[in-house]
Structure formats: C-alpha cells, structure tokens
Structure 1
Amino acid sequence: MQEYDLAIIGSGIGGALIAALNKNKNHILFEKDSNLGGCASTFKRYGNYYNVGATTFVGYEENHIIKKIFDDINYVPNIEESKIAIRTIQDKKVVDRVRNFEEFLIQIQEYYPNKNNRIFWGKIKKIDERFWQIKNIHFAKYSLKSYLKSLLTFKDLIKTFEMDLFKSASSFIKDTLGDISKEYQNFIDAQLLITVQSKLNDVSLLSMALGLSYPFHKVFYVNNGMGTIIEDILKEVNVHKKEEILNIKSLEDGYLIRSSKDEYKAKNIVLNTTIYDSKNLFDEKIKSYYEKFEFSDQSAFTLYLKIDSKKEFLEHYQIILKDDIPNCISNSFFISFSKLNDEKMSQNGYSVTISTHTKVTTWKALLNEEYKKQKEITQNFILEHFLDYFDTIKQEQIIKIFSATSLTFQRFIGRENCGGKAINLKTILQTPTCKTPFKGLYNVGDTIFAGQGWPGVALGASILDKELNEEF
C-alpha cells in the first residue's frame, strides 16, 4: 500500500493551491473528473472548449494574496488585463466597472443618482483596500493556538474597521444612500451574487465591500481557459485524475483512503470537497461533524454557447432584467466571452459561458420529463434575452448550445451547490474552518472560510498552508 504525508481530495482552486504550495512534500492529489479545477476547470465538448463556471481572474497584483502565492510557487500565469471588468446593462442603463474610481462614479451618478454616492462607494473601496492590507489573517478552531490566532485577527479587524465591522450591508446603505430605487438595489444585488453568492440583505458591510470592490482591482482574462491555470500549477504535483474517493477511514496514525482504483494511507488529508459533501466519505464519528453544517441550497444554471462571429466583444457582461429568470432566484445573468484571438477557446468561434443563480432543490424535485422541460424553458428564456441585448448576433450564428443545472454539476465535478453560507456576525461561529476537530484532517474551498472566487479561496488556502506547516 502506498503511503503519503499529505493527500488532497479534489483539484478545485483551494486543493490546487495547497498541492502546489506543498509540492515538495510526499503527497498525492485525487480528482474524480478527467478535467482539473472543479468549478474553475475548462472542458471540451463537441470539439470546442468551455469554462465550467469561474471565468474571472482577479487579484494578481502586488500586496495581494494571489500574487503572493503564485510568487511562492514560482508561477506566472498567461493572462491579459481587462480594461473593463464587467459591463452591466439594466434596461438602457450601461455601467462599466472600471478600476478608475472617478470614471466609475460618473457613470453611477448618471444612472443611479444619489447625493451620497461618493460617500458610499468611497467607503466600500476603502474597506476593501484596508482588508487586503491586514497581515496574518487567521480563522480556525479546535485548538488553543488556533483560537488565539483567530482572536488576534479579530482584534486587528476591530482596530482596522472599528464599528463598521458590526454593520450589516442593508443598514449601511440605509445610513448613506437612504431609500434607494429598486433598480439601484438590483444593480448591487446582481454584482454581489457574482462574488459572494448572496444579496445585500444577507451579508455584512465587510462582505459587501469585498464583493463590490473586485472590479477596482486588476481583473484578467485567462488565455486558453481558466482551467489552464490549475493545470499549470499542478504540473509538478502527483495527480491522479479520473480516480474517485469512495471512503476514508481514520486510523491511529493517519487515514486509510479507498478509491475507485486502489487503497492508500495518508497522515494528513485536505478535503477540497464541499463541507456538505464531505460527510459521505466517513463513518459515523467524522460524518456527524460534517452533518452539523446546514446545507447551502444555492447553485448555478449555466448556458454554454459556441458563436460564429467576428464582432469584437468585451470579456464580461451582466444583464439585469425586470423579472426573475424561470426556475432561478435571480433576475440577472453573467456572460463571459472568450477573446477572439484565443486560439484554443475561440478556434471555431466564440466560447461563451452564461450563468445565473438557482437552487439545488428546484431541480432535484423534478422528475425526468419535467426536468427536461423546465431546463429547456430556462435555457430558452436566457437565450432570448441574450439575443435581445446582443442584436449583432443572429440565432443562426449559434453553432452549439447546451446547459447545466445543479444535477449536471454533481455528475461531472461532484458538487450540487455553489459556494457556502454568507459570513456575518450571526453565522461566524457556525462558519466551518480549515482545521477540524480530528488530527490531520483539514478543509479548503469556497464553502470554507474565507469566501468565494480566487481571492477568497486563496485566502483560505493560505491559512490552511500555515496550519499544515506547523504539522510537518
């Protein structure tokens, strides 16, 4: 039986970063799919390449966690900075999320006029800048040392943000902007759903600031697909693709791992599965620990298009509608175009990923024929509105079209939901951490503190890496 110091289950952003940071250790990484990256993977279908879900790469800049980790593993990604992070379109209101604050503020004031817009967005940007300047952020439980480190982080947060740390997003909006229009609230909610998977009524001021501020950072297009980054940083890692982990048994000196192909032994395990799916791998003792985390029902509905066109498009758009999309919990959808000169992604025309938010239970409740019917209704609704806004694209130019629900994602990347519970003062004590009560067992990923997307997951991976270094 092969024995390892570290076994990593799952090659999503968190698992990939941990594996790359520990590539000099006696390690192994398992991925059940043929593609690496989970929600950040790139897959091939009908001879064309598509990004599964994650399409924006942000935070590769000085004094940011992504740049630090990539420098540590000596990796330079093949990326191009986007001049406009997102073009948001709501009826006839067009706002370009650009890095330049004054340029952005002019647009906001034109379409969503408010005497305190500068105060609101200035505070949002300042909170975000201050957060990423804090050093040694830590959040873990189950040992005295972990609690003390977490307490120091909380002390730094209070020192940095004072009473702002305890404010909710909705109360801050009320205090600064007052009673905003439905259109303005939809504009804010639509962007928060992209980044923190929640609307403003469910998040803290800090979470809202981090979620709304990412376009003030450098936002990049990843050449050859998002999955290329994952594949590149795992080149020196012992990766076992198309090998599913069936169960894990705790031993006195580690863990016994049984996969679809073999058995292994590891002293330490990092789970890049979701906090909700991890329970399926263990017997009662460890299973009961994971069962206490309330399932996040939120997921994604994603549309994939191949479009034969030579028109120039931005990399990212967001369309905000008046009414919710059928079978979804959002009235907006996010569009990502491949670059026309991307030889891999655009070899037969634009590769387009369109995503919106839905619930896992919506699709699990449907029987086979009704499932197909509702999936087609949602797909056609999104496509119709997409073509309305992009009138230079004709129906006949769409070479391929298919879509994915939470059931599709479960089948291919092993997860139904999208992200974890929103972090606020009410939920922080129930928020899972990288460290578990069980020696040598750790978590990483977007359902674990600290959050969503590349920056949030990378922050969690950085915290976990420090925990692991103390173990080895």
Structure 2
Amino acid sequence: MKKIAIIGAGYSGLSIAALLAKYGYYVTVFEKHGELGGCAGYFSRGKDTFDAGATTLSGLRDGGPFRKILDVLDLDVDVLEVEDGIRIISDEHELIIGNSIDSTIEQFNKVFPHFNSESFWKQMKEDQDRALNLVSNLSYIQFPSVENISKLLTTELFSKLRALPLITKSFYDVYLKPLNASKEVEKVIDEILMISTQSTSKDVPALFGILGVMYPFDLWCATGGMKSLMYELKNLIKRYDGTIYLSEKVEKINLEKDIFHIETAKRKMSFDYVISCVPNFSLENIVDGGLKRQLNLNVKKTLKKWSAITSYFVMDTEEEIPGTYYQFLISDAPFGKSRSIFVSLSHIDDEVRTKGNRRLVTISYHTDATEWKLNERDEDYKKAKECIKLFCERSLRNVFEKYKITQIRNTAVGTPLTFQRYTNREKGFLGGIPYSLSDPLFLHQRTKTSVSNFYCLSDTTIPGQSIYSLSLSSLNLLGYIKKVSLI
C-alpha cells in the first residue's frame, strides 16, 4: 500500500488524514506540538478547556463542505447551532446578525433607518447561491490541467460571465455604494469582513464579501469545544490504522527517485506522497534545497502581516448571558489594528465545558505581527500583557455587567509570540490568505504543486482560511486523488 505523510495536525491535516484513512490509504501525521488543532487548537487551565482563537464552525447547512466531511466520515460530532449569529455591540446600539434575514433587516432598520436594509440583505441572500456555486469551481484552479481549465471556461459560461463583477469589483462598489451606505453601516460590515475575510468592504472582491457577510447565518459550536472535534478526527484516523506522531517536528524533507524521505529528531521514514498542512512560509524551511527549488513555493508578502491578540477568562453571572459570539466595536485595543474585538463565549447548552451561568471566554483581535518588537523575556512584554488583560476585562464588564457579574478571572493572554511558539509560524502570522482585489486569490499557492505527489493544503493555499474553506480543500484533494487513481 502506498504511504502518505501529512505534515501538521491542525484541522486541515486531520480532516484530509481522516478522509484518506477512511478510503483505505495508509496515513502518517506529524505534529510538532503535544496537542492537536494548530490554529484551531485549545489549551487547558485546571478543569477548563479554552479554544485558542476565534474559531467558528460553518458549512454545516445541507450541502456545506463541513457537513459533507462529517457525512463521508460517518462522524457523529455533537454540534450546537448558534441560532442568533453574532451580536454586534457599540456605544450606540446592539445588532444581532444571523438569526434570520427578516429579523436582521428589522434590526438594521431600527439602528440605520436611512439605509435600505431590506434591499441589501435580500440581495445578499439571493447572491449567496451564485457565490457558493462559483466557489465550488475552485477545484479547477487548485488542480490546474487542460481538462480543468476547459471545464472552468465552458461550464455554465453565461452564468460565470454574469458573475464577473463579483470577482473584479469590491463588495463596497457592488453593494454598499449604490445604496449610499453611511460610514456607520460600512464600519459594521467592515468588521464582520475583517473576521471572515481579513479584508474590508473596499478591498474584498464582492464574491468573497457576500460569503463573509453571510457567515453569521451558518454558525455552530462543537460540544466540548474544538478539542472534541479534533479528538473525534484523531480517533477515526487511528480506527483506520493511521498513525499520529505528536511532539515530532519535521526537520527535513527530501526527494530521491520519486520517494520522499522525512526526518524528525526521533525517526526517519520514507513515503510515496506528502501533503503539507503547514503554511508555506514554514514549509520552505524544512524542504531541502533541491526539493525547495522544484516546489517553487508561492509565499506572498500579504501572508506575512496579521496575527492575533487573545485573552481568556472564566466569567460567572447571576443572570444568563444570551448568545455565543459577540463583536465589540472598539477602536482603542492595545496593539490592535482593527476597530473591534471578537468575543467567543462557551455555548450556554455546552455542559461538557461549563454549567449554569458560568462561561468560558476567548477574546481575539487583529494585530500586525510585523510591528511586534517585544521579546518574551522583556519586562515591557509583561507590562504589555497586563495592559491587554485589563483592557479585555474592562470591555467584558462594560458589556456584561447588566447580567450581574459575580466573578471574572483571567487565565492567560496570547500575543504573536505565543502563536509563534505554539504553532511554529514565523512571527506568529495567522489568518492565511486575505481576500483582496489587490492580491487576487488565484495568484496564491495551489494545492497541486509542480512536484508530482506533493500537495499543499493549508490556510496559505487556495482557497485559504476558515473551517469552511479547509473542508472544501480536503474534499477537493480527496476527489482528485480518487479520480486520477494516484494511490
């Protein structure tokens, strides 16, 4: 049986490993750290397990890629729907986006009476299907061939030509400008897009803007948090005789006579195929010179900017806090480069993580990793973390005090240096490919590389970040491998 090495045990690595193992392929997963999950990881403090970042589950509606993966794997993951989407909080208003189109329109009408909310949101709903149909064609770009390019250009050509403005124009120009959207409306939309696309309405292509704005309508949590999902995938891989090596950093990959040789500090192994699920700027440090030249990895500068500031709390209240995901519109976050912070509460019905009105809280917001000059050993670094902690606690109290907070306790603070240490990403770069008109998606790294039997499958590879996109990529790679009978 042909052997497949998978580098990285984040969601991407575990999902493709589970799919291949289910179909009878022999897989070996290498992970530098002692825990699974990568950027969608978790950590424990005492009996509490926190999601490390602002990871949300999406693509679970009928036909969604995450739903397809669960169905293909026959994986019974206990998920909880976030029925009220995202609650957006500012000093002036509170908006709930995602519970339904009609209720979202009603809320927008109250907060922004001069904006044609009905026209905007109904157009979003209508164009979402077109956008999803176009995204489903990404496999033609991920695996370029004469046949695939021909299909891309000829299949449903009229429909694709009609959708051309969605690819070549900004979300702002197509949807907000014609409706004379105010700066306040633009700000709300921009902050949703920063979380979902790493871009703003004036830079993101309309196609990805639609999907970014609509993602609050398809939000879910795994009972037990991301840890439970990762363990379900791990157990399935092992059930089908796959192997996962934790705490084993891949130090070198070379290619000799069509066989890939992988070295860690503990072992040397040979494989017929390699699937890299680490970012390309990390991968280029572990492939040897000859293989590196052959791969010609596409590491664009736009991948090296964003990281995250995170802070984690345990919070008890006398009254139940509604909802799971919040976005506080705040512009003065320490080291922050966006105008909001994203607040994830453990789902109120997730009794694996907490019970009653006790909630685990993960706060996350954008920072520019290239500007982060502190060192973990510096006294100024400790002061910076204390400043972040106090700011985040104050923000929580300002919004949730009305629910009568009885305890709020900080357990940890994360910075780009934290993510660099635990994800092995240069300077802690996170977020993958930003969806931007100035840096088109199709110019980034494809899944199929120029080296036979070597594939890239990370958030720095088309189509980029999110559980939705990575699920789509894993399914597309599985389909490609099965179709061409490579293994």
> Do both share a fold (TM > 0.5)?
yes
- Mapped partners of 2:158, 2:352: distance in 1: 45
Question: Which residue number corresponds to residue 391 of structure 2?
Answer: 381
In structure 2, relative to structure 1, the CA distance for the partners of 1:250 and 1:55 (3 Å cut) is same
Q: Deviations over 1:425-468 (max 9, x none)?
A: 54234211111111111111222111322111111222222232
1:351 to 360, 367, 379: 360
- Mapped partners of 2:159, 2:473: distance in 1: 17
The one-letter code matched in structure 1 to 2:479 is: K
Question: Which residue number corresponds to residue 435 of structure 1?
Answer: 448
- Mapped partners of 1:153, 1:34: distance in 2: 46
Offset of residue 157 of structure 1:
6.5
Question: Which residue number corresponds to residue 36 of structure 2?
Answer: 36
The one-letter code matched in structure 1 to 2:325 is: H
The one-letter code matched in structure 2 to 1:462 is: L
Offset of residue 48 of structure 1:
1.9
The one-letter code matched in structure 2 to 1:279 is: E
**Residue 290 of structure 2 is aligned to residue 290 of structure 1:** no
Q: Deviations over 1:297-330 (max 9, x none)?
A: 1011111112233532221111102x24221101
Question: Which residue number corresponds to residue 325 of structure 1?
Answer: 333
In structure 2, relative to structure 1, the CA distance for the partners of 1:391 and 1:309 (3 Å cut) is closer
Question: Which residue number corresponds to residue 166 of structure 2?
Answer: 164
The one-letter code matched in structure 1 to 2:6 is: I
**Residue 105 of structure 2 is aligned to residue 102 of structure 1:** no
- Mapped partners of 1:4, 1:34: distance in 2: 27
- Mapped partners of 1:15, 1:48: distance in 2: 25
2:278 to 267, 273, 277: 273
Question: Which residue number corresponds to residue 72 of structure 1?
Answer: 72
Offset of residue 243 of structure 1:
1.5
Q: Deviations over 1:327-370 (max 9, x none)?
A: 11012111111134534322694211111111112324557222
In structure 2, relative to structure 1, the CA distance for the partners of 1:429 and 1:340 (3 Å cut) is closer
Question: Which residue number corresponds to residue 339 of structure 1?
Answer: 347
- Mapped partners of 2:111, 2:205: distance in 1: 25
**Residue 434 of structure 2 is aligned to residue 422 of structure 1:** yes
**Residue 372 of structure 2 is aligned to residue 363 of structure 1:** yes
Offset of residue 232 of structure 1:
0.3
RMSD, aligned CA: 2.5
- Mapped partners of 1:354, 1:151: distance in 2: 43
Helix, strand or coil at the partner of 2:163: helix
2:470 to 436, 457, 460: 457
Question: Which residue number corresponds to residue 182 of structure 2?
Answer: 181
Helix, strand or coil at the partner of 2:254: strand
Between 1:290-299 and 1:410-419, the stretch displaced more is 290-299
- Mapped partners of 2:157, 2:430: distance in 1: 31
**Residue 400 of structure 2 is aligned to residue 400 of structure 1:** no
- Mapped partners of 1:379, 1:156: distance in 2: 53
Offset of residue 413 of structure 1:
2.2
Q: Following superposition of structure 1 onto structure 2, how do residues 17-96 of structure 1 map, counting pairs within 5 Å?
A: 17-23=15-21, 24-96=24-96
Offset of residue 422 of structure 1:
2.5
Helix, strand or coil at the partner of 2:300: coil
- Cα pair 2:336 2:365 within 8 Å, conserved: yes
Offset of residue 233 of structure 1:
2.0
The 4+ residue runs of structure 1 with deviation greater than 6 A are 393-396
In structure 2, relative to structure 1, the CA distance for the partners of 1:52 and 1:292 (3 Å cut) is closer
**Residue 130 of structure 2 is aligned to residue 130 of structure 1:** yes
Unmatched 5+ stretches in structure 2 = 238-242
Q: Deviations over 1:361-395 (max 9, x none)?
A: 23245572222222322332222122111114778
1:140 to 132, 139, 142: 142
Helix, strand or coil at the partner of 1:172: helix
Between 1:302-311 and 1:24-33, the stretch displaced more is 302-311
- Mapped partners of 1:131, 1:198: distance in 2: 17
- Cα pair 1:363 1:405 within 8 Å, conserved: no
- Cα pair 1:142 1:436 within 8 Å, conserved: no
- Mapped partners of 1:394, 1:286: distance in 2: 59
Offset of residue 235 of structure 1:
1.1
The one-letter code matched in structure 2 to 1:407 is: L
2:259 to 254, 259, 268: 254
In structure 2, relative to structure 1, the CA distance for the partners of 1:435 and 1:153 (3 Å cut) is farther
The one-letter code matched in structure 2 to 1:125 is: K
The one-letter code matched in structure 2 to 1:397 is: Q
* Structure 2 length-normalised TM: 0.89
Question: Which residue number corresponds to residue 240 of structure 2?
Answer: none
Identity %: 28
- Cα pair 1:257 1:265 within 8 Å, conserved: yes
Between 1:109-118 and 1:406-415, the stretch displaced more is 109-118
Question: Which residue number corresponds to residue 242 of structure 1?
Answer: 247
- Mapped partners of 1:106, 1:404: distance in 2: 37
- Mapped partners of 1:27, 1:307: distance in 2: 41
Between 1:126-135 and 1:404-413, the stretch displaced more is 126-135
**Residue 308 of structure 2 is aligned to residue 300 of structure 1:** yes
- Mapped partners of 2:224, 2:297: distance in 1: 37
Offset of residue 71 of structure 1:
0.7
Offset of residue 154 of structure 1:
9.3
Between 1:335-344 and 1:244-253, the stretch displaced more is 335-344
- Mapped partners of 1:114, 1:448: distance in 2: 41
Offset of residue 155 of structure 1:
4.5
- Cα pair 1:279 1:286 within 8 Å, conserved: no
Aligned residues: 467
In structure 2, relative to structure 1, the CA distance for the partners of 1:29 and 1:205 (3 Å cut) is same
Between 1:419-428 and 1:187-196, the stretch displaced more is 419-428
The one-letter code matched in structure 1 to 2:190 is: D
- Mapped partners of 1:468, 1:317: distance in 2: 40
Question: Which residue number corresponds to residue 226 of structure 2?
Answer: 226
Offset of residue 115 of structure 1:
4.4
- Mapped partners of 2:261, 2:435: distance in 1: 33
Q: Deviations over 1:73-108 (max 9, x none)?
A: 111220121221111111131111133211110111
The one-letter code matched in structure 1 to 2:10 is: G
Q: Deviations over 1:248-278 (max 9, x none)?
A: 1122222110113211111111111012211
* Structure 1 length-normalised TM: 0.91
